[in-house]
Structure 1
Amino acid sequence: MKIIKYVIACLVTLMSTSLWASQLTPEQESAKTRGLTLFNQHKAISAEPFLTIAAEAGDREAQFYLGKAIQFNKRYMTAEARKWYTAAAEQGDMYSMYQLAYNGNDLCHAMGNCPRGTRTAREWKDLLINTATPLTEQGDGEAMYMMYLVTGDLDWLKKQAKPGFPFKPYWLAIRYDNDECFIFPPWQRSDRIKELYKEAAEGGYPVAMYYYADLLQKSGDLENARNWVVKSAALGYESTFLEYAYGLSDPSNKWGFQVDYVKSYGLMSLLLELNGGGNVLSFVNEELPRIAKNLTPEQIEEAKKIGAEWKATHPPLSFFPQKLGF
């Protein structure tokens, strides 16, 4: 649907037409899923070959993330990263347009040796605006978020949008939480922030669930706070999953979880796969022996089964990195 909307926008503005992605085979789809999982676990190097399979097949999401992985691994916008961003942008991917507009390199234009048809950063920005504008008029929250990034106008985040993009209210809550904008009357700031986190949490964004749960816990609503922690953990968000797994082995945990050392050990063990970023691995390696002291060998085996069952029935663990951040 977004590709169709992109084509319409381009025809209206007399700009380029989009390229159509081919249908992925089961093998290509599996490679894409594996690549995205690895990328979201901060394993960008390992993700590249899997994302390449789907990107070469024409999948625009894989093309964007491949460009992002290459850019991250090389620490700058390489020609290869730009190639994949361009492929995705030509199919209507607004995030790729943004990368090319704000993180691209116009050196070839300055030197006059760009490949024929290469757009300038300004042209990519214009295409992004022309793509997002008609979508905002239809209530598309993602397009409103992109317009906020382009213009810096916070009103884009405040506009009413159709459900489906919970990152928008989450990001507005972050802006308020960081005192980056004014709320009138000012004494309603905390209530407004809580409302936005709740909206984003109810929209299905696991990171917002964690923030909302924290506010509920601080207000003394432990039952609802626990429910949101479990919901977020079930979706694989590393921070809430860690809180949940650890809380099950801490009698004084702030969430009020009942101690279950067996389940705690089983879930905590799953975090060992997050060895691509952060301090998760060192923390888990310290905590597992502590939890194991409360278990018999038979209980440890039971814990391993609990972990295996969870992994088989839930989404993979993820840091949920922002699409335009690393």
Structure 2
Amino acid sequence: MCRIAFGLCLLILTCTAVWSGTLTHEQRDARETGIRLYNQYKAISATPFLETAAQAGDAEAQYYLGEALRKNNRFMTHESQKWLEAAANQGHIYAMIRLGRSGNDLCAVTGNCPSGSKSPGDWLRHAYQVALPLAEQGDPEAMFLMYKITLDTDWRAQAAEAGHALAQYGEAISIEQGAGFYLFRSRQQEIEKWIKASAEGGYPESMERYLAILAEREDWEGVRHWQHRIAETGYAPGIFELGMHLAHEPERYGHELDLVKGYGLLSLLLELDGGGNLRRFAQHIMPKVAAKMTPEEIEQALEFAEEWRATHPPVSYFPDKLSIY
């Protein structure tokens, strides 16, 4: 299951984070809880958990804490910059890039950006110096980060060829928007090639795009297969779609009616009480499903949901770890 969710926000990548000391069990739990809440658009709730691990010297927690504080305030503050710099000083390339982009932050418009140990340009140059040797050694993540640092699409192409799922998605979107020289059919084939590769690499948005391609071909068996795979990553929209179709509220792709699993999957979304609308959508559909179930079936559905939580990645929106906002 972890292989399916490869590279997607919750995994800690060796080229982007360096640990300072060893976390206790409680500190590790706090870090994972904080990241889970952050990825559910609950940055305010995530903050105290991330602080626990960040104060223990965990670079990944420091990065997410800096991002949570920045997003909560809608611009870079002294506190958010402090934690991003703490992560960056441990070799966290994402933190270096975020600091390097702070010159474009809202605080730059209002003229009250906090002063840091390095200028934004210095942080980008430092990120380049750290990422380049890793990229030259063939590290796909470092290649993708070189693209983020330089905006040179050759780096994204190299990362895609090396199997980086988000880079592959980026290649598909770029080609779809007109990059390169292709005849119509060959352009579509190239887009599908990268979408499928990215989907197989575990990127949920590519999975959704590939599912749509299969639906256009009326490959309903393929559609059903990918609906299950999307949900298994923990991607909240994918869980909603599968739950809705299993419960036939409505059903379009030939799923056998399974009220227990459908209701159970929809119930997983009730914890999404931060941003997004999926909790509200689930609350709208669940009474309709429950009306077709016995009390015993509802109990079975809730037991199914608990088992799912124990054996699958957390429910997540998978926001871009280095979003432009």
- Which residue pairs with 2:175 in the alignment? 176
Q: CA deviation at 1:164?
A: 6.1
Return the match for 2:321 from 305, 320, 323.
323
- Which residue pairs with 1:264 in the alignment? 262
Q: CA deviation at 1:283?
A: 0.8
- Which residue pairs with 1:101 in the alignment? 100
- Which residue pairs with 2:252 in the alignment? 254
- Which residue pairs with 2:83 in the alignment? 84
Q: CA deviation at 1:268?
A: 0.8
- Which residue pairs with 1:291 in the alignment? 289
Report the Cα distance in structure 2 between the residues aligned to 1:186 and 1:151, rounded to whole angstroms.
30
State how 1:212-231 maps to structure 2 within 5 Å. 212-231=210-229
State how 1:1-326 maps to structure 2 within 5 Å. 21-104=20-103, 114=115, 118-159=117-158, 165-177=164-176, 179=177, 181-250=179-248, 253-325=251-323
Report the Cα distance in structure 2 between the residues aligned to 1:185 and 1:127, rounded to whole angstroms.
41
| Residue deviations 1:269-291 (CA, integer Å, cap 9, x gap) | 11111111111122111101111
> Quick one: higher RCO (CA 8 Å, sep 6+), 1 or 2?
2
Report the Cα distance in structure 2 between the residues aligned to 1:254 and 1:172, rounded to whole angstroms.
30
Q: CA deviation at 1:146?
A: 2.0
Q: CA deviation at 1:182?
A: 3.0
Q: Which runs of 5+ in 2 are unaligned?
A: 1-11
For the aligned residue pairs, the C-alpha RMSD in angstroms reads 2.6
Q: Which runs of 5+ in 1 are unaligned?
A: 7-17
- Which residue pairs with 1:15 in the alignment? none
Q: CA deviation at 1:75?
A: 0.6
| Residue identity matched to 1:35 | G
Larger radius of gyration: 1
Structure 1: which 4+ aligned runs deviate by more than 3 Å? Answer: 104-107, 160-165
| Residue identity matched to 2:306 | A
Report the Cα distance in structure 2 between the residues aligned to 1:80 and 1:70, rounded to whole angstroms.
7
| Residue identity matched to 2:96 | M
Q: Is the 8 A contact 2:160 2:171 kept in 1?
A: no
Change (3 A) 1:65 1:159: same
Number of residue-to-residue matches in the alignment: 308
| Residue identity matched to 1:133 | L
Report the Cα distance in structure 2 between the residues aligned to 1:183 and 1:135, rounded to whole angstroms.
31
| Residue deviations 1:231-285 (CA, integer Å, cap 9, x gap) | 1201200111111000112276233211112221111111111111111122111
Q: CA deviation at 1:188?
A: 1.7
State the TM-score, normalizing by the size of structure 2. 0.87
Q: Is the 8 A contact 1:140 1:162 kept in 2?
A: no
Q: CA deviation at 1:165?
A: 3.2
- Which residue pairs with 1:13 in the alignment? none
State the TM-score, normalizing by the size of structure 1. 0.86
Q: Is the 8 A contact 2:30 2:53 kept in 1?
A: yes
